[in-house]
Amino acid sequence: MPAFPKIGKESKKYLGDKAVKKWKRLVPSGLVLTAAFLNIISRIWQEFSDFYVDNIFPLWVETYGRITGLFPFSVGEWMLYLGVLLVFFLVAGGVALVCISRRLPEDIKKRCQSCFKGYALFCYYVFGIVCVIMTLNCFLLYQVSPITERYQIGEGSGRSYGLEEITLLRDYVVEQANALAPVFDRDERGYLICKIDMKEEARAQMGRLSEEFDNLKGYYPKPKGLALSGFYSQQYIMGYYFPFSMEANYNRQMYITNMPVTMCHELSHLKGFILEDEANFIGYLACVSSEEALFRYSAYLSVIGYLDRDFIKAIGEDEEVYHRHPQISPLVAADKKFLTNETWEKVEERAVLPTETVKQAADAFLDTTLTLNGVEDGVVSYSRVVNLLLCYYDGKLW
């Protein structure tokens, strides 16, 4: 049997380069498949998701969450904008290459194609990494057991509540808010004046609440204001959790009464409470137990609208019955705003796109994201905080 011919150095180099190129293409594909596999496992095996959020997820905020927390600006926000630029250049480069490739000399054409393929592969790597990070820091969290089951709130929420309970809770929150509204210092326009460090107080309150909810234990970075808050104001967004930087962000332009509960809401996402109704609930509890009046006021204002709406539904929109109960004071109603009129004017002046267009696009994106992650009622899920509050106050108010 004749011996196989020896492989020369050039052949070895060629085969080696070919193998490297193959692996370079396989790695991002492997990342995407890993993310898909983890998503599938989490949807069919809830115990896996519960174990992950209790034992593994906390590592991320304790590691690179501490690193991104060193920066005075929102790292995640600028990573988001960088991602938009990467996609833009990928599309623009592809279109440009198609349009002008016929006019280029063959050698330049090949170099341009090689550069574009290299950039496209780089974008594919980024996409694979983003898929894994979003899965680990966001999507898996949607599949954990409800907070009522994990912490036996209202005996696991097995009980249903009716008119009597919603009335008692609504009246309680209205009375508390009405009592707090006159105690604050205000400017000549009637706007609240804040003299406390809300970021530190938010971190402190979340730490105190960890005595009741184990998952809230550990490190908290300072909440960071969004640089382009005007754009987020057009979307009516108060805060943002960036999974790829483990940061809690808030809208710098919103009215001050929204800030404490929003900071606590976003910090709760860093501890695995990704569902918006649960984050609303955690944010409320963190603020309502604070010694700072602004934090308690922020808590009551954050849920008063949901409670009042559900109360009206429960009484069949009967105005006579409604007016027999405590009324939301004009001062509370004035403080229950997203932005001040002056801020809205500045937002509209600097807006690149109409606010209505931005709002509709943002709502559609958020609703789709929530629905794809198993939150069937989409953005409506925010209002489910009422049921969590009814469970929590069971045995306290009735």
Residues 184-233: tens digit of each pLDDT: 999 999 999 988 999 999 999 999 999 999 999 999 999 999 999 999 99
Percent of the chain past pLDDT 70, that is, above it, reads 88
Q: In the predicted model, is pLDDT for residue 152 greater than 90? A: no
Contact assessment for residue 367 and residue 378, using Cβ atoms and an 8 Å cutoff: yes
Query: What's the pLDDT score for residue 18?
Result: 58
Distance CA(202)–CA(276), nearest Å, equals: 18
Categorize the per-residue pLDDT at 383 as very low, low, confident or very high, splitting at 50, 70 and 90.
low
Q: In the predicted model, is pLDDT for residue 379 greater than 50? A: no
By CB neighbour count within 10 A (0-12 exposed, 13-18 middle, 19+ buried), where does 139 fall? buried
Distance CA(175)–CA(169), nearest Å, equals: 10
What value does the mean pLDDT take over residues 386-392?
A: 93
Q: Which residues share a beta bridge with 247?
A: 242
Contact assessment for residue 139 and residue 36, using Cβ atoms and an 8 Å cutoff: no
Largest CA distance in the chain: 104
Q: Which pTM was predicted?
A: 0.88
Query: What's the pLDDT score for residue 381?
Result: 42
Q: In the predicted model, is pLDDT for residue 6 greater than 80? A: no
Query: What's the pLDDT score for residue 393?
Result: 93
What value does the mean pLDDT take over residues 230-254?
A: 94
Among the listed residues 278, 271, 259, 243, the one whose alpha carbon sits nearest the alpha carbon of residue 383: 278
More confident residue, 112 or 15: 112
More confident residue, 15 or 299: 299
Distance CA(301)–CA(177), nearest Å, equals: 7
Among the listed residues 146, 128, 58, the one whose alpha carbon sits nearest the alpha carbon of residue 384: 146
* pLDDT 10s digits, 260-319: 999 999 999 999 999 999 999 999 999 999 999 999 999 999 999 999 999 999 999 899
Query: What's the pLDDT score for residue 97?
Result: 84
Distance CA(194)–CA(191), nearest Å, equals: 10
Task: Note the Cα 184 to chain centre separation in Å.
Answer: 30
